[in-house]
Chain A
Amino acid sequence: MPWVEQFELHVNSQVGDAHSVQERMIAALERLEYTERDVFAARLALEEAVVNAMKHGNGMDPGKRVTIGCRVDSDCARFEIEDEGPGFCPGSIPDPTADENLDKPSGRGIMLMRAFMNVVEFNARGNRVVMEKWRGAAVEATAGSSL
């Protein structure tokens, strides 16, 4: 089945620049009548991924870009976010639910992405993430994975 909506855009590393792109992605899900829960999940995970790319990947360097790709059909919404930074190891992020980390103000973005999206996969370098939300499908608790 062909994708109903498909596009790829580049934004500079300023958080406000990505919001119109994110809204376009979410509007596609709403047009296809994804559930409120699915839309909530996608919006939250997209925000976390884009902010991570800009802030941690590109170091908020306005000269660096974030590429945001979106493909949506009636069963699956797929998002690809890539930054121009050096990458990182997703496995190196401390568990934010550990007692010693609970009161730290950051480090929860990837956990939330994994909790709300059916697929979250990083490339080997760690500067690109692919996420999928399957219509109406609950998220299985799985360990993190990388391509």
Chain B
Amino acid sequence: MSDGGHRRIDIEQIGDVTVARFVDKKILDETNIQIIGNQMFGLVDDEGRQKVVLDFTNVEYLSSAALGKLITMDKKMKAAKGKLRLCSVRPEIYDVFAITKLNKLFSMHDDLDAALQGL
């Protein structure tokens, strides 16, 4: 995985699905977002993962710059004919997705079990 510094994403493999859980509570800092983005993109660009679930369990704050990285990740997964899902997004964070209508772009699920269904 492209690191660029301290690991920001915990990876768990469940069958052929890669579960990537964000470590940071606040995904706000631009430098941090850049590192997180690189680590996320590495899953598809470098490691060729085809099924990825992004787990937001730990995430309490998310800025628009982070949304941008998620959009780019979604594009990369689609280009690689892979599948990307998001899960365990807190209500306040879900509001951010809903306000920006990105809840229509991403496949979002209440929890990891729901996200794994049919993947």
Residues of A at the B interface (CB closer than 8 Å) are 15-16, 19, 37, 40, 43-44, 47-48, 51, 55, 96-97, 102-106, 108-109, 111-112, 115
Contact = CB atoms under 8 A, between A and B. Distances in A.
Given A44-B63, A102-B101, A102-B102, 15 more contacts: A40-B92, A43-B28, A47-B61, A48-B64, A51-B63, A96-B101, A103-B71, A103-B74, A104-B71, A106-B68, A108-B68, A108-B100, A112-B96, A112-B99, A115-B99
Nearest to B67: A108
11 contacts: A16-B31, A40-B60, A47-B61, A51-B63, A55-B30, A102-B102, A106-B64, A106-B68, A108-B68, A109-B64, A111-B100
Given A16-B31, A112-B96, A112-B99, A51 B65 contact: yes
Nearest to A43: B61
Contact of B75 (A40, A47, A103, A111): A103
A105 B31 contact: no
Nearest to A15: B30
A83 to B, nearest CB: 16
Contacts of A96: 100-101
**Chain A binding surface SS class:** helix
Nearest to A37: B92
B99 A40 contact: no
Interface in B70-119: 71-72, 74-75, 92, 95-96, 99-102, 104-105
B101 A97 contact: yes
A111 B97 CA distance: 12
B12 interface: no
Contacts of A47: 28, 61, 63
B49 interface: no
Contacts of B105: 102-103
Given A44-B61, A108-B64, A19 B96 contact: no
Nearest to A105: B68
B28 to A, nearest CB: 5
Most buried by A among B28, B69, B92, B104: B28
Contact of A15 (B29, B71, B74, B95): B29
Interface string B7-48: 000000000000000000000111100000000000000000
